């Protein structure tokens, strides 16, 4: 094999390597991060759903609780009436629901978020397949150049 051919093969390997490390891996990380954020949101809705069920099962008309103000900083709160609840519906909006309406909304929101998470999972799987294919191409180049 001539030096020119070896140089061409090295250039081809570098192109594949750059494609994997500069394009595919960051895209994979982005998809997985977005999916994880969606799973965190689903988890928050599930916690809210269980809290609503707890309020309904125990027929609590008022409630004393700890509220997360952010960064794991909690403050004590007294809720004098549990008839209505405000739920974050997205895009900065909070809607007042009855407890049953909130449970219905949460179930629908969970389904919608799960579909979105599934899309990100499928996209991540495609990117992983592209990475595997590029790595196999590199190994094939190395085998043929030996």
- Note the pLDDT tens digit of each residue in 94-142: 999 999 999 999 999 999 999 999 999 999 999 999 999 999 999 998 8
74: tokens are 């909690």
Residue 8 is predicted with a pLDDT of 84
Q: Give 34-89 pLDDT, tens digit per residue.
A: 999 999 999 999 999 999 999 999 999 998 988 888 888 999 999 999 999 999 99
Task: Decide which of 1.20.200.10, 1.10.287.370, 3.30.1490.190, 3.10.270.10 is the CATH code for 3-145.
Answer: 1.10.287.370
Q: What is the pLDDT of residue 80?
A: 92
Structure tokens, 53:
């069920």
> Are the CB atoms for 94 and 86 separated by under 8 Å?
yes
Evaluate if residue 146 carries a pLDDT over 80: no
The residue ranking higher by pLDDT, 130 or 8, is 130
Read off the pLDDT of each residue in 13-18 and give the average, rounded to a whole number.
Answer: 92
Contact 27, 127 (CB under 8 A): yes
Q: Where are the alpha helices (DSSP H) in the chain?
A: 3-18, 25-57, 99-145
Statement: residue 1 has pLDDT above 70? no
Q: Would you state the pLDDT for residue 52?
A: 96
The pTM of this model reads 0.85
């Amino acid at each position: 094999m001539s030096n020119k051919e070896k140089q061409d093969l090295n250039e081809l390997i570098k192109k594949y390597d750059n494609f994997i490390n500069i394009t595919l891996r960051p895209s994979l990380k982005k998809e997985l991060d977005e999916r994880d954020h969606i799973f965190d949101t689903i988890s928050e809705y599930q916690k809210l759903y269980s809290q609503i069920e707890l309020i309904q099962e125990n027929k609590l008309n008022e409630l004393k609780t700890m509220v997360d103000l952010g960064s794991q900083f909690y403050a004590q709160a007294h809720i004098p009436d549990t008839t209505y609840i405000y739920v974050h519906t997205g895009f900065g909006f909070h809607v007042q629901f009855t407890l049953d309406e909130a449970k219905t909304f949460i179930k629908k929101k969970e389904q919608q978020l799960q579909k979105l998470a599934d899309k990100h999972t499928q996209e991540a799987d495609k990117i992983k397949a592209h990475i595997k294919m590029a790595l196999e191409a590199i190994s094939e180049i190395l085998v043929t150049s030996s």
